[in-house]
Amino acid sequence: MIYLDSAATTAVRRDVLEAMWPALTGQFGNPSSTHDLGAAAAKMLADARDTIAAIVGGRASEVIFTSGGTESDNLAIKGIALAAPRGRHIVASAIEHPAVAEACDYLERFHGFEISVVDVDGDGIVRVEDVAAAVRADTTLVSIMYANNEIGSVQPIAPIAAIAHAVGAVMHTDAVQAAGWLDLDVRTLGVDALSISGHKLGAPKGVGALWLRGSIPIEPLIHGGGQERGRRSGTENVAGAVGLATALAIGERIRVDATANTTALRDAFISRVLATVPGARLTGSPTLRLPVSASFTLGVTSGEAVVLELERRGIVCSSGSACAAGRDEPSTVLLALGLSPELAQTALRFTLDASITADQLDDVSTALRDAVATVASIA
Ligand code: PLP
């Protein structure tokens, strides 16, 4: 099998699992317990927090462990908005993940917030001037994702953060897809809050983190024993936290070399698909995109049918985001690019990983050409 759906999820890396093993076995204590087993767990949790803080360039006390990207986004959006001393206006892009978009909708419906949705250009990039036009004196929060999960487009976070700060708003970015591939340094990005998720980069499902600048007040979503400095109660997922920190640290170590290599392979793959698959068009930006992302529309052939046909040939990819799969509506991200609903139904998404080879990608492009021909012949 050639797995090209890392944007949906990844396998747990062996080295990550090995790092987690002690927290699941011999050192299984509750970090809040005062005995030695508890202290050992607390130490592992603290080390994981230190590792993540170092990678994002923040303080350990600013890392809040969560159950994943969805919770990190919800905590950021609702938690920051509800605790904000001023304003009831939020700015977000038209291509945010549902974890951000739906959290904004909730604030609008139940808490009287007003949401301004900023469009993207045809390449799926937020225009900085559109954010500048959308922010107001009462803007509480600006949330723009770092990299998109369907089309891989990478957003100009630093200038957008500067605009948010100029009106006194907090800047959040969903870095779930960016983690492992792009620089997560919050000082360079200029953000105040950043969401990450373990299972997109070789750690298990069910763990994530929100980095939140210490000076920013937050209303917790989960109340209870006061763990995570009262910002997220519940006995900590120590093994998950260790896994997340380990995966991030590995990602950070190999990121620069892996990026150069994967970007070259991605570009060769995209060129080959565009040259050999009739009707194929790239979605998203040719250059401002994640090194691992290759997404297309096929013109007339159903993306879903081609996904099934490719799977018969041992290749796993997706017709859109895993979160939207199974729904019949066309992707809001693709509609935001200006694509028609019919064209959006022909979308196909491949997400590479650092282990992919040129030969494998050649096989995939040939299989794609054949799969499209097969689906077209029976349509
Ligand atoms: N944000 C983005 C950009 C994502 O791609 C995802 C998952 O697909 C999430 C948030 C949600 O993360 P999780 O699956 O860890 O809840």
What is the reported pLDDT for 31? Answer: 98
Kindly give the distance from the C-alpha atom of residue 378 to the centroid of ligand 1, in angstroms, as a whole number.
35
What is the reported pLDDT for 115? Answer: 98
What is the reported pLDDT for 156? Answer: 98
What is the reported pLDDT for 378? Answer: 86
Query: Is the distance from the beta carbon of residue 149 to the nearest atom of ligand 1 less than 6 Å?
Result: yes
What is the reported pLDDT for 272? Answer: 98
CATH no. of 2-7+255-378: 3.90.1150.10
> Fold identical between 2-7+255-378 and 14-250?
no
Kindly give the distance from the C-alpha atom of residue 149 to the centroid of ligand 1, in angstroms, as a whole number.
8
Kindly give the distance from the C-alpha atom of residue 152 to the centroid of ligand 1, in angstroms, as a whole number.
13
What is the reported pLDDT for 280? Answer: 97
The preferred substitution site among 149, 155, 157, 318 for testing ligand 1, maximizing ligand atoms within 8 Å of CB, is: 149
Query: Is the distance from the beta carbon of residue 69 to the nearest atom of ligand 1 less than 6 Å?
Result: yes
What is the reported pLDDT for 329? Answer: 81
Query: Is the distance from the beta carbon of residue 70 to the nearest atom of ligand 1 less than 6 Å?
Result: yes
Kindly give the distance from the C-alpha atom of residue 44 to the centroid of ligand 1, in angstroms, as a whole number.
25
Query: Residue 14 and residue 35: Cα distance in Å, rounded?
Result: 30
Query: Residue 105 and residue 107: Cα distance in Å, rounded?
Result: 5
Query: Is the distance from the beta carbon of residue 68 to the nearest atom of ligand 1 less than 6 Å?
Result: yes
Q: Where are the domains of the chain?
A: 2-7+255-378, 14-250
What is the reported pLDDT for 326? Answer: 56
Q: Which fold has domain 14-250?
A: Aspartate Aminotransferase; domain 2 (3.40.640)
What is the reported pLDDT for 323? Answer: 56
pLDDT in tens, 309-349: 999 999 999 997 655 555 568 899 999 999 999 999 999 99
What is the reported pLDDT for 322? Answer: 57
In the residue annotation, 323 being an active-site residue is answered as: yes
Query: Is the distance from the beta carbon of residue 349 to the nearest atom of ligand 1 less than 6 Å?
Result: no
Kindly give the distance from the C-alpha atom of residue 350 to the centroid of ligand 1, in angstroms, as a whole number.
16
What is the reported pLDDT for 246? Answer: 98
Query: Is the distance from the beta carbon of residue 208 to the nearest atom of ligand 1 less than 6 Å?
Result: yes
- Selecting among 54, 282, 323, 376, the annotated active-site residue is 323
| Regions in the chain scoring below 70 on pLDDT | 321-328
Q: Which atom of ligand 1 is nearest to 71's Cα? A: 16
Query: Is the distance from the beta carbon of residue 323 to the nearest atom of ligand 1 less than 6 Å?
Result: yes
The preferred substitution site among 73, 174, 176, 321 for testing ligand 1, maximizing ligand atoms within 8 Å of CB, is: 176
For the chain, the average pLDDT equals: 96
